[in-house]
Amino acid sequence: MSPDLRVIVYPPDAEGGRRVRVDGEILGRALGPGDIFEFLRRAGLDPDDVDLDDRLLIEWRGGGPAVWTPPDPGEQ
């Protein structure tokens, strides 16, 4: 696994999707952990070697890998 890779997963949008950026490039919108693994595979990582809780690899914004629901409009 490349320690130089910088992965950012942004907070869920109104539909629960999360933008995924790897090394400054938006790879797409993830709708669940499976999409994250696919984006990381495309970035050259082996999904079998990836731990979504690895804070050295992935910066989760707006909640960790278990958060896929849109924000409550009353909380904004």
pLDDT tens digit sequence for 1-10? 445 788 999 9
Q: What is the predicted pLDDT for the residue at 1?
A: 44
Whether 47 is in a domain gets the answer: yes
Whether 2 is in a domain gets the answer: no
What pLDDT digit, counting tens, does each position of 20-61 carry? 999 999 999 999 999 999 999 999 999 999 999 999 999 999
Whether 76 is in a domain gets the answer: no
Whether 16 is in a domain gets the answer: yes
Say what the pTM is.
0.87
Whether 15 is in a domain gets the answer: yes
* Residue among 19, 20, 24, 18 at smallest CA distance from 4: 24
Q: How many domains does the chain have?
A: 1
Whether 13 is in a domain gets the answer: yes
Whether 46 is in a domain gets the answer: yes
Q: DSSP characters for 35-62?
A: HHHHHHHHTT--GGG--TT-TTTEEESS
Whether 63 is in a domain gets the answer: yes
